[in-house]
Amino acid sequence: MTLNPNDPRVKKTRRGLQEAFVRLILKQGYDSISIQDIASEAQAARVTFYRHYRDKEELLTDCLNTLYEGLAEKTQRLSPQSLLEGRSPLSALYEHIEEQENLYHILFSSRGTQTVIERMRHHLALNALDALRTTGRAPQGGIPLDIVAYHTASAQLGLAMWWLEHGKPYPAAYMARVSLWLTLSGLLETMGAADMTLPPPPFPA
Amino acid sequence: MTLNPNDPRVKKTRRGLQEAFVRLILKQGYDSISIQDIASEAQAARVTFYRHYRDKEELLTDCLNTLYEGLAEKTQRLSPQSLLEGRSPLSALYEHIEEQENLYHILFSSRGTQTVIERMRHHLALNALDALRTTGRAPQGGIPLDIVAYHTASAQLGLAMWWLEHGKPYPAAYMARVSLWLTLSGLLETMGAADMTLPPPPFPA
DNA sequence: TTACAGAAATACATAGTGTATCATAAGCTC
DNA sequence: GAGCTTATGATACACTATGTATTTCTGTAA
């Protein structure tokens, strides 16, 4: 028997399980959580869990997929106007991390399924490739573009992870601009376009 | 009763458990492994496992700590001579990944304890800070040095992870040199020292 | 060789997993 | 609103894994 995802009872149960799961992970860590724990926290029967998810891993994936879709949507909504105002896919990333801080803590911990992080990195790498192409040049020394793209994406994602895990020592908006600037200044050099210069972002008050 | 780590029987048992564990992780993944599985694979009694480790996690940490110490040692052995020959801490990293490929696959998967990855990133960040200081300049726009260091370290570590997880599409030595070059060219720009130029590494035959 | 420390064998209490069955209640259709 | 459908709750059960205790066996070192 397969459940109807549009049934309000199903939606309610799933939402309850997901939210309970996140609460428990933050409280006691992933590994020590049992299915019973999740069901109790969600005030549902243990059997109900198995109607919806095969195991804990599947529930986690469901949570993180939802998270990723939120980010993707936020990124998509960037208008040409907002780009001119200094916003970028990195702004969307940092804002989203602040909005969904709890989930990102989980995602960035060793418990976050690698697939979701991988998707984010890939997404950032594609953005980097775009930026590379707009320079209209080939990289110095024939360095393969995939290397440059993943070098860049790793720097961006890793910096965001570092920022969150170290208690957000700088404002999100500043981080987004610095990350972009560090990236672009490196890329311009890499692409033999050091003649184009960018002003570094001002340090916030 | 606490075990004597120098007793040859203890060493043999621990080595057996660690090696069995690695084999099993590569064969069936981390989560589905039971203590019994490990003990059987190591041809030991299940009770014996509990004499040495509290749980799977502790055994994994033991394996990965050993791995990290191997890397640290390899990095330390870099002589000024080898640095002049174009080797760097990044060369040590890429070589070590090739030598211990199986373990690194585990470490870089979502199962690798974040603490070990964190230590590697921190290690690379310290190296980056060194490089920043040798320029004798302050970063443009007053960008905080910790941001620059972690941006750099993330790029280096993330690129190495990408490389391994994508089937090592380029030689390790080339990756080490490209990673260093991408890093330095970005840093020189960041530090307002774009007048110093570095030749990009030649693409390998 | 003897004394000791670690490993093996066995047993057991406990907890978690995954499934089946049936009763109840929420939501949709007419 | 009556009746049908479908999800949930409650209970039970078989099975697997965990963690510890106890006793016996074996490798190591004085």
Residue of A nearest to B107 (CA): A110
Residue B177: count of CB within 10 angstroms of its CB: 23
Counting the structural domains of chain A, the total is: 2
How far is the CA of A157 from the CAs of A89, B95, B126, B158, in angstroms?
12, 25, 19, 9
pLDDT cut 90: percent of chain A above it:
53
The minimal CB distance from B154 to the residues A117, A158, A178 is found for A158
- Which residue of A31, A105, A110 to mutate against B (max B Cβ within 10 Å)? A110
Interatomic separation, CA of residue A13 and C1' of nucleotide D2, rounded (Å): 27
A82 alpha carbon, distance to own chain's centre: 20
Residue nearest to nucleotide D20 (CA to C1'): B47
As given in the structure block, the two tokens for residue A22 are: 């996140």
- Residue A41 sits in a domain whose CATH number is 1.10.10.60
Provide the residue type at B2 as one letter. Answer: T
Distance CA B147, CA B115 (A): 20
B96 alpha carbon, distance to own chain's centre: 8
Q: Is B205 a domain residue?
A: no
Write down the pLDDT at residue B112.
Answer: 66
Number of residues in chain B = 205
In a shared domain, residues A30 and A112 = no
- Residue B67 sits in a domain whose CATH number is 1.10.357
Q: Is A202 a domain residue?
A: no
As a whole number of angstroms, the longest Cα–Cα distance in chain A is 65
In a shared domain, residues A69 and A159 = yes
Answer whether any strand D atom is within 7 A of the Cβ of B57: no
Q: Is B127 a domain residue?
A: yes
Write down the pLDDT at residue B174.
Answer: 93
Mean pLDDT of A71-75: 91
Instruction: DSSP letter for B53, please.
Output: -
* pLDDT over threshold 80, residue A199: no
CB pairs under 8 A between A and B: 131
- Cα–Cα–Cα angle for A89, A92, A93, rounded to 5 degrees: 90
Q: What pLDDT, in 10s, does the model give residues A94-145?
A: 999 999 998 898 888 866 677 788 889 998 999 888 888 877 788 888 888 8
In a shared domain, residues A20 and A71 = no
As given in the structure block, the two tokens for residue B67 are: 């791995």
> Which nucleotide does the CA of B46 lie closest to, via C1'?
C8
Pair B175, B163: CB distance under 8 Å: yes
In a shared domain, residues B181 and B80 = yes
Q: Over A183-203, what HEC string results? A: HHHHHHHHCCCCCCCCCCCCC
Distance CA B6, CA B122 (A): 32
Answer whether any strand D atom is within 7 A of the Cβ of A48: yes
- Which residue of A104, A107, A122, A150 to mutate against B (max B Cβ within 10 Å)? A150
In a shared domain, residues A72 and A145 = yes
Residue nearest to nucleotide D9 (CA to C1'): A45
- Cα–Cα–Cα angle for B185, B186, B189, rounded to 5 degrees: 90
> Which nucleotide does the CA of B34 lie closest to, via C1'?
D17
Q: Hunting for tokens 């529930």 — which residue is that?
A: A59
Say which residues have a Cβ less than 8 Å from residue B86's Cβ, sequence separation at least 6: B177
In a shared domain, residues A36 and A69 = no
Q: Is B198 a domain residue?
A: no
Give B9 to chain A, closest Cα distance, Å: 31
* Mean per-residue pLDDT over chain A, rounded: 88
Say which residues have a Cβ less than 8 Å from residue A21's Cβ, sequence separation at least 6: A33, A38, A41, A42, A56, A59, A60, A63
Sign for the CA dihedral angle at A96, A98, A103, A108 comes to positive
The minimal CB distance from B190 to the residues A152, A170, A185 is found for A185
> The domain containing residue B12 runs over which residues?
8-53
Using only C-alpha atoms, what is the Rg of chain B?
A: 20
Q: Is B58 a domain residue?
A: no
Q: Is B29 a domain residue?
A: yes
State whether residue A198 sits within 8 Å of chain B by CB.
no
In a shared domain, residues A78 and A171 = yes
In a shared domain, residues A102 and A186 = yes
Write down the pLDDT at residue A192.
Answer: 62
Write down the pLDDT at residue B193.
Answer: 60
Mean pLDDT of A17-31: 91
Mean pLDDT of A53-81: 91
Number of residues in chain A = 205
The pTM score is: 0.86
Q: Is B22 a domain residue?
A: yes
Domain limit, last residue, from A33, A53, A73 = A53
In a shared domain, residues A47 and A79 = no
In a shared domain, residues B36 and B119 = no
Interatomic separation, CA of residue B51 and C1' of nucleotide C5, rounded (Å): 12
Say which residue, A8 or A82, is predicted with more confidence.
Answer: A8
Q: Is A32 a domain residue?
A: yes
Pair B15, B42: CB distance under 8 Å: no
In the predicted model, residues of chain B with pLDDT beneath 70 are: 1, 110-112, 189-201, 203-205
In a shared domain, residues A105 and A128 = yes
